[in-house]
Amino acid sequence: MSLRASRKLWLLVALAVALVAAANVHLLYVAISSQPACVAHTRLGAGAGASGAFSAAQSSCSPVDIGAPQ
């Protein structure tokens, strides 16, 4: 392999590594800066949640009854 081809290869490898690193930094930024909205769900122990079916494992939202007026 010539010196020129070797340099091209290493440049492509460096660019690929930089692209993956930038994508990971962006992923971390979006994960840290965003806060998903709370959605209505059955709480554990309420309704069908008593059996553990269709309920959130742990909610970070304030407890509000689904049927209660907002």
Answer yes or no: are the C-beta atoms of 66 and 54 closer than 8 Å. no
Tokens of 26: 């962006």
Question: Binning pLDDT at 50, 70 and 90, where does residue 1 land?
Answer: confident
Spatial CB neighbours of 38, under 8 Å, sequence gap ≥ 6: 59, 60, 61, 62
| Residue ranges per structural domain of the chain | 3-51
Model confidence pLDDT, tens digit, residues 37-56: 776 666 666 665 555 556 66
Q: Where are the alpha helices (DSSP H) in the chain?
A: 3-33
Give pTM, 2 decimals. 0.52
